[in-house]
Structure 1
Amino acid sequence: MADYAIGDLQGCLEAFDCLLKKIDFNPDRDRLYLAGDLVNRGPDSLGTLRRVYQLRDNVQSVLGNHDLHLLAVAHGATRSKRKDTLAEILDAPDREALLGWLRRCPLLIDLPSHNATLTHAGIPPLWTLEQARRYAHEVETVLNDHRCGDYFAHMYGNQPAGWDESLTGPDRWRVITNHFTRMRFVDSNGALDLTTKGEADAPPSGFMPWFKHPHRKDTDTRLLFGHWAALEGQTGIEKVNALDTGCVWGGSLTALRLDDLAHIHCDC
């Protein structure tokens, strides 16, 4: 039995199947933990989502920003963008089953047997892990009750940039979502810069990669995240593992075997 954490699939079914073969995945024995962004930009978003759904008894995934974008489009809260590769999902006969499963995916998954936590973009440095769990649960609850329409209608936007416990309603949901699914650079107060997508060593003035914040709260738990392909799987920080190695951009798809921290790759 082995547990694997896998980076952003983004519709790259061929690479995903390659990786499953390379790790000799056995659904009677192994478990997969996916870092979100299962769909979009890649060549086969529908096939990828179907494959994950087929394996759902042995797969858990967090939600990424592209997954939430798909759900917002399906809900009618926004339109597809020019570079989206979501049309086949939206037109598929099994879309309701696929999207229903996706919407129930969490923002945060704890892996206690590995002393690890998985999110799409990371854990905000000035949040404790207990705070992160609580805030993730808030949004997960909204996504699956009568407020989901209001959530999707107000999900997009970069403001407020910083966390404030007094926030309520859509502003609060948006800030929590941005921290879990879009975060890269933060300032000393933990506020987000959501316009810069480059390498970690080229932050905007006054900002730093979230995992290099000098007062990061949780340093005992292994943090697993995707989202930031420009890192090429390297953070330079112990117990902070970047999983997105840019498959959709011509890089590779990576699985981290959690039992011994071995990396397995398939070129894309």
Structure 2
Amino acid sequence: MSIYVIGDIQGCYKPLRRLLDSVDFQPDRGDELWCVGDLINRGPRSLDTLRFLRDLGDAATVVLGNHDLHFLSLYYDCIPATMKSRHTLDKLLKAPDCDELAEWLRQKPLVHYDSLKTEAGIRNYLMVHAGVPPVWDLKKTLELAAEVELALSGPDFREFLINMYGNEPGKWKDSLEGYDRLRLITNYLTRMRFCKKGGKLDFTIKEGLNKAPKGFEPWFIFEKLTPETHILFGHWAALEGITGHPYVHALDTGCVWGRELTMMRLEDHKLFSV
């Protein structure tokens, strides 16, 4: 049995199936698939992708990305009118089982943490879509992610989705409350690329490391979780899978942009791509 962690799928269903076939992925023998978020949108087959992952049951471990949250906002009609056309999700939204798929997705976390026995010994892994801000340790990351997960899975989830959009506040304070607090937690975990050492965010640049705004660095330059914990993330296709950090693993290699879909086998960190 093996655990594979896959980068942003974004509705690229055929490459997903080809990649799993290339490693003879077999849930019946105990293989597992971890997904770093952005399961859907932009690619051609979001509906098939969600159905497939849902049907994997306990063999699939999923964290939410910004595109997954965008879909939930669309489906539950909790999105600003100016953003309703920014998607490729019509087939999914019109599917007879869309309600079931949305409810399945709404119960998923923003981070996943586990300790695994590997050939190199016990390793700790944190999987998140975008990253972890430098002002949080592991305990705080798990606690704050749980606040958003509770809001999203609870009875007032529509209010959370309505208030989720926006870039402010741009820096963490423990005193933050309400939807300002939940919005910033969500932005850190699902949208972050560049930040300052104190956690201030910048959303203007989506390119690679050499395009950092003045005074900003990639979030993983400042993170405080390694080397005790390996960080698995996606979201940032412009990195092309390269962080220069031995404990921080970038898995979005831009399949939806015509490049590769990549996954890593956790037992030996071997990479597989199609």
- TM-score > 0.5, shorter chain as reference: yes
1:101 paired residue number? 104
| 1-structure distance, mates of 2:55, 2:205 | 36
Residue number in structure 2 paired with 1:142: 151
Shift of 1:83: 4.5
After TM superposition, the score normalised by the length of structure 2 is 0.94
Moved more, 110-119 or 30-39: 110-119
Residue in 2 aligned with 1:217?
Answer: 224
Shift of 1:23: 1.3
Structure 1 runs of 4+ with >3 Å offset: 79-83
- Matched to 2:132, the amino acid is I
TM-score calculated relative to the size of structure 1: 0.96
Please state if 1:259 is matched with 2:259: no
Amino acid at match of 1:59: A
**Post-superposition CA distance 1:106-140 (Å, at most 9, x none):** 00101211311100001112210100000000000
Residue 227 of structure 1 corresponds to 235
Identity over aligned residues, as a percent? 48
Please give the per-residue CA displacement for 1:82-104, whole angstroms capped at 9, x wherever unaligned. Answer: 44111111110111111111011
RMSD over aligned CA atoms reads 1.1
Structure 2 distance, partners of 1:83, 1:131, is 33
Shift, 1:75, TM fit: 1.0
Q: Deviations over 1:148-204 (max 9, x none)?
A: 111111110000000111111111110000000000000131111012101012201
Q: Structure 1 CA distance, aligned partners of 2:197 and 2:115? A: 30
Residue 18 (structure 1) aligns with: 18
CA contact (8 A) 1:121 1:227 kept: yes
Aligned to 2:113: 110
Partner of 1:53, secondary structure, is helix
Q: CA deviation at 1:146?
A: 2.1
Q: Give unmatched runs, 5+ long, in structure 2.
A: 117-122
1:186 alignment counterpart: 195
Q: Secondary structure at the match of 1:112?
A: strand
Q: CA deviation at 1:54?
A: 1.4
Residue of structure 2 in register with 1:57 after alignment: 58
Report if aligned partners of 1:41, 1:83 keep a CA contact under 8 Å in 2: no
Partner SS, residue 201 of structure 1: helix
> 1:151 is matched by which residue type in structure 2?
F
Q: Distance in 1 between matches of 2:230 and 2:208?
A: 22
Is the 8 Å Cα contact of residues 10 and 37 (structure 1) preserved in structure 2?
Answer: yes
- Residue 9 of structure 2 aligns with which residue? 9
Give the secondary structure class of the aligned counterpart of 2:273: strand
Q: Which amino acid aligns with 2:57?
A: R
Q: Which residue of the partner structure matches residue 249 of structure 1?
A: 257
2:139 corresponds to which residue? Answer: 130
Structure 1, unmatched stretches of 5+, are none
CA contact (8 A) 2:74 2:84 kept: no
